[in-house]
Amino acid sequence: MRYVYGPVLSRRLGLSLGVDLVPRKVCTYDCIYCQIGRTTLKTLERKEYVPASSILREVEEALRSCPTPPDYVTLSGSGEPTLNERLGEILKGIKGMSPSPLAVITNGSLLYKEEVAEALLEADVVLPSLDAVTPAVFETINRPHPDLRLGEIVEGLKAFRRAFKGRLWLEVLLCRGVNDGRAELQALKEIIAEIGPDAVHLNTVVRPGVEEYAYPLPYERLSTIAKELGEGVEVIIRPPQRAAPPRQENLEEQVLRTLKVRPLTLEDLSRSLGLHEMEALKVLDQLADEGKITSRIFDHRIYYEAKGPKP
């Protein structure tokens, strides 16, 4: 399948069937911490990047092959899903064929657009990001499209919260020395209170991003910040305490064997094994948690390799 992957085990959404609405790294941001790689097309243009009919056909096929319904059908993938102008139609189509709740993982940058906010009202859970609330820090960590304005993005989040009847889980990803300063965190606390999300998920860099200076925060520091930010803020970097589905276990073995031959990027690994990049990334995350692989950055590309003796 080209646009649907999984189900894969997600830290926040359990067993999730993933749906990709735009091509690889078509995004409104070029975040310094992105595990997938540099943004290849930074744009605000909304169009049908991926045919809605093809997406719905693949979702229907994937749901038929699942022994039990996934915990969520999740629209996310390797780019910004709200750039697909048929987002609302796709959400309605999936809702008509699946009993599973619908989640959308978004960077939240286009919620100020009325048509985007209206489309997302069809979801059960929306998980937008907000990594910075002051312009200089926003530019540093997210490297947004030049026509984006932080004030509009924040106001879009507030307006969407007022209109949305589902659950809004706000994600904040912190990089050491970039957006974890006292003044930034105090401003963030105030904005979070104004938005009023149902939960705030505090995260940090778990694997190398595209920039070597995207450093993680220790778990203890994240826990302290979570308490300072207030009620409803939780740290989510711990891996899920749940067995991976059999397909994922088999893929872990394939990926490990492949990486023992030579280091590969996510893109190269996905192509060689015929996997969707997001599915491959979940497997890489699990192998890294188990201490079986390492990663390094070379020329802004992230390479993964297996630990231990090579064949």
Query: What CATH number has the domain bearing residue 160?
Result: 3.20.20.70
**Inside any domain, residue 240:** no
* Predicted pLDDT of residue 301: 78
The domain total for the chain is 2
CA–CA gap between residue 96 and residue 60 (Å, rounded): 10
Question: What number of other Cβ atoms are within 10 A of residue 147's Cβ?
Answer: 9
**Inside any domain, residue 311:** no
Same domain? For 107 and 218 the reply is yes
Same domain? For 21 and 62 the reply is yes
Same domain? For 134 and 211 the reply is yes
CA–CA gap between residue 254 and residue 76 (Å, rounded): 25
The residue range of the domain holding 78 is 4-235
Looking at 206, 235, 264, which one is the last position of a domain? 235
The single residue listed with the structure tokens 């999730």 is 16
CA–CA gap between residue 94 and residue 101 (Å, rounded): 10
Same domain? For 20 and 84 the reply is yes
Q: Are strands 72-76 and 167-174 parallel, antiparallel or unpaired?
A: unpaired
Looking at 235, 257, 292, which one is the last position of a domain? 235
User: How many helices (H) and strands (E) are present in the chain, helices listed first?
Assistant: 10, 13
| pLDDT tens, N- to C-terminus, the chain (311 residues) | 889 988 887 888 988 999 999 998 999 999 999 988 899 999 999 999 999 999 999 999 999 998 889 999 999 878 999 999 999 999 999 999 999 999 999 999 999 999 999 999 999 999 999 999 999 999 999 999 999 999 999 999 999 999 999 999 999 999 999 999 999 999 999 999 999 999 999 999 987 788 989 999 999 999 999 999 999 999 997 544 445 555 555 888 888 888 887 788 888 888 778 788 888 888 888 888 888 988 888 767 788 888 876 55
- Asked whether 288 and 242 are in contact (CB, 8 A), the reply is no
**Inside any domain, residue 13:** yes
* Predicted pLDDT of residue 309: 67
DSSP string, 174-209: E-TTTS-SHHHHHHHHHHHHHH--SEEEEEE--S--
Q: Which two tokens stand for residue 255?
A: 């990926």
Residue 151, Cβ density class (10 Å: 0-12 exposed, 13-18 middle, ≥19 buried): exposed
DSSP string, 21-53: -S-TTEES---TT-SS-S-SEE----B-SS-HH
Same domain? For 175 and 63 the reply is yes
Same domain? For 100 and 219 the reply is yes
Residue 271 sits at the vertex; the CA angle it makes with 78 and 302, to the nearest 5 degrees, is: 60
Same domain? For 204 and 274 the reply is no
- Asked whether 286 and 248 are in contact (CB, 8 A), the reply is yes
**Inside any domain, residue 54:** yes
- Asked whether 205 and 164 are in contact (CB, 8 A), the reply is no
Closest CA to 272 of 288, 289, 255, 256: 255
Q: Which two tokens stand for residue 53?
A: 């009919």
